[in-house]
Amino acid sequence: MKKTVISLLAMLVSVVAFGEKKDSVDCSSHTVVYEYKINTLDKDDKPVTDVCELVVQVGRKVTKCAPMIAYDIQTGEEQVRFDSHDKEQRLVSLRRYGAITLMHLPIVFTGYPKGKVTTQEMILPNLYVATDKYRKPRWQVTGETKTLNGRLCHAATAQLAGKTWHVWFTKDAGISAGPWKLQGLKGLIVSATDEEGIHSFQMKEIKEEQMPIYYYHDKWEAHLSHKTMKIQKTTTQEMISLRSSLFDKPEYLDNPLYYDDTAKYGTAAWMQFDSVGLAFSYKGYNYFPCTKVKAEDGHEYWPYCVHKFQPLEK
């Protein structure tokens, strides 16, 4: 099939322009930045750590946890970075988009709708939306204390989604919040690690900030939007089963979109920036800068590179 040439700038602009239907479901009082790490293996069984940043917007009724790039899109920072003529700045943008796909990051709304938790997750070519009753983890505060980031922290543990979590939280921030679905303590989670040492969240920054907390109804706000994406209503348990059935297979490491009929979207598309000398392979939809190689036409690109799937929920 003939290769389709797509403007990467146009695709990224669609992140903001596509799907204008959104609601302000609350107003934040604080913004908390976390570093999220997954310790996993590459296709050769060598240890590798995937890293990205998450932002938690803490409102009176709703807490939203999303990839950092979603927050930067809201503030306009991402558009400034991407409009830059600096090659490294643009590469940072592309790597951040890739990390979302590589790490299977959802957007999580705790308390929206009232008494529920809503998760938005893109598994190409669909956007999945799961809404379930919110069940607060049953935390056990151990009595241990230590100082982290200059704040007195208390230790706690809980079972959540088939994993045991060990966290440190502080009462000094005056808010109750945490990354992902780790909520419900009488304080702010500063550090969280699962018992296996695979997933971890570390707080990097907290600031008082009043901003709308947006819920987008018809798009994945932190990644490439595409007219062929379909919204699938589901449940958390169905999402856990779907992830396992798709990503926990050997085929995934060699061809991350093995399950999809990519022929109808084009076998490949090239995204180029002549001004900065960048070009990227774009199969199906996914991409992630990994090992740079040279295509037959002479352009250099980074193929999509995935690592062994490590479920956050079991």
State the DSSP string of 240-258: HHHHHHHHSSHHHHH-TTT
Q: What is the per-residue pLDDT for 235?
A: 94
Q: Residue 32 domain-assigned? A: yes
With 60 as the cut, is the pLDDT of residue 5 above it? Answer: no
- Sorted by sequence, the CB contacts under 8 Å of residue 187 that are 6+ apart come out as 154, 169, 170, 171, 172, 173, 175, 176
Domain with 221, as residue range(s), is 20-235
Q: Residue 64 domain-assigned? A: yes
Is 73 strand, coil or helix?
Answer: helix
Most confident listed range (40-44, 66-70, 199-203, 223-227):
199-203
Give the whole-angstrom CA distance, residue 284 versus residue 267.
7
Cis geometry, peptide bond prior to residue 303 (ω within 30 degrees of 0): no
Q: Residue 282 domain-assigned? A: no
Give the whole-angstrom CA distance, residue 22 versus residue 38.
31
Q: What is the per-residue pLDDT for 83?
A: 61
Which strand (E) or helix (H) includes residue 83?
helix 77-83
Which strand (E) or helix (H) includes residue 88?
helix 87-102
CA distances from 6 to 22, 27, 215, 280 (A): 27, 37, 28, 11
Question: What is the token pair recorded at 101?
Answer: 């796909």
Looking at the structure of the chain, the number of domains it has is 1
- Sorted by sequence, the CB contacts under 8 Å of residue 17 that are 6+ apart come out as none
Instruction: Give residue-wise pLDDT tens across range 218-259.
Output: 666 655 444 556 788 999 999 999 999 999 998 888 777 777
Buried/exposed 1-34: b ≥16 CB within 10 Å, e otherwise: eeeeeeebeebbeebbebbeeeeebbebbbbbbb
Give the whole-angstrom CA distance, residue 125 versus residue 106.
15
Average pLDDT in the chain: 77
Q: Residue 131 domain-assigned? A: yes
- Sorted by sequence, the CB contacts under 8 Å of residue 172 that are 6+ apart come out as 151, 152, 187
pTM: 0.81
Q: Residue 11 domain-assigned? A: no
Reported confidence tier of residue 81, pLDDT bands at 50, 70, 90: low
CATH number of domain containing 46 = 2.50.20
Reported confidence tier of residue 279, pLDDT bands at 50, 70, 90: very low
With 70 as the cut, is the pLDDT of residue 91 above it? Answer: no
Q: Residue 204 domain-assigned? A: yes
- Is the separation of the CB atoms in 119 and 130 below 8 Å? yes
Q: Residue 199 domain-assigned? A: yes
Q: Residue 269 domain-assigned? A: no
